Amino acid sequence: MVALVAIVVTLVAVRWYVPSVSDMQALRTERSELEASISDLEQRGGKLQISPCGPERRLCVAVQDYTGIFGKDGDYRIAKGY
């Protein structure tokens, strides 16, 4: 009888904590969508390293100085990681 109760308690606990097959499939689908979104963001500049700078806490972007200066006025640089 004790063994039967232990088995039932274990089965109930597993049923309670382990997600169903449909829940796991939904999570896999969501993960795939999130991975696609991350890839899209990376292609569009999502890897930029930004932080607040200066006394006004303005937005700053990390750049690669060794890649050169671009633009008519020399005010463009390549962002770090690209």
Q: What is the predicted pLDDT for the residue at 6? A: 94
Residue-wise pLDDT tens digits, 9-61: 999 998 888 888 899 999 999 999 999 998 998 888 777 888 999 999 999 98
Report how far residue 64's alpha carbon sits from residue 8's, in angstroms, rounded to the nearest whole number: 62
Q: What is the predicted pLDDT for the residue at 41? A: 86
Q: What is the predicted pLDDT for the residue at 50? A: 86
pTM of the model: 0.49
More confident residue, 65 or 1: 1
Q: What is the predicted pLDDT for the residue at 20? A: 87
Report how far residue 5's alpha carbon sits from residue 17's, in angstroms, rounded to the nearest whole number: 18
Radius of gyration of the chain (CA): 26
